[in-house]
Chain A
């Protein structure tokens, strides 16, 4: 299970591109470690899954910036992030905080975890806004902006006579989504 730093760099590069193989490798390498950490500290298998995925997302966001310099073993980093995330979650649930037995060494990751939770909040707002948008706007927006389909396909799929019609509709939907999102944003920040 040892990985050297060149492997790790390649792995992170693949991760940044949302490459399935890289994700699988990371899963195989670290999942069991994180799972033991969670389960030995008052967690369930579902908790382990959530925390691990959060951790990989943190890693993904870091990798995407391209300027990510890993100063320690990837394993240590993953462990640190998971640990921090789990402690935070326990704190939120106001559960009894276990004195996490530090078998592994950790590195400070507060900053990453903080910005991750900030981003998560924003994504949740977007999700909520999309939910409030209703059909067919939601599917239209998702098809174009999320699945990045091209306008002609979308027009065919949604039964618009031509791409221009679909485009107009899409912009109208987008304007509404923007309104909903910013309303949500204001709500959360007040």
Chain B
């Protein structure tokens, strides 16, 4: 597990962090002129490099849409997004980010190892030497020895671990996660939360994490980006004042409960 520390160049904390993702006056509209729907309106936010930012908001606030805009999966109507100074499309082609979906989206006919290796086989940057060792990654997410298992032989939590290992194989600078643990039971979700924090600290990757669980947003995030709906816009970009490394026990502290209470109040104001 500790061997994974060399997977990513870690950013020293003393250095002033550069901006990983810069979103300026972003608007997204769906539909045609007669039946237009504004998903996001005038969103501006800067995500520093190496940060762990969770995105929270009522359903329909466009948090998934915002994430998909960064991933170049949704067309931007107005404004701009820059990912390390590049457009989302350039960043996608340069494999600057990886995406983890709510559903693990493993290819069911491939075993665990081949699923993790998929990003190395497709796209313009296939066969580049600069990738992580799939065996090492599987060990890091606790799946050593399950390399030859097929996805249907794994539990939901294990499948999501494979998806995380697959996302890390190209050593992405940013990890975009769209409610990755939303479909899991609470116990599995707690364990994966803790492990994700460990992975983040070991790799130094910037993480943007969409969730609709208040405790999850508070436990994982250095910052919480709160969005409100109709149209989707930024409510607040707040810092979570809890020390790292965090363990699950932090959730029983007064400070943590203070943070979640504040987030809940903000959410209620959004309604």
State yes or no: do A and B come from one complex: no
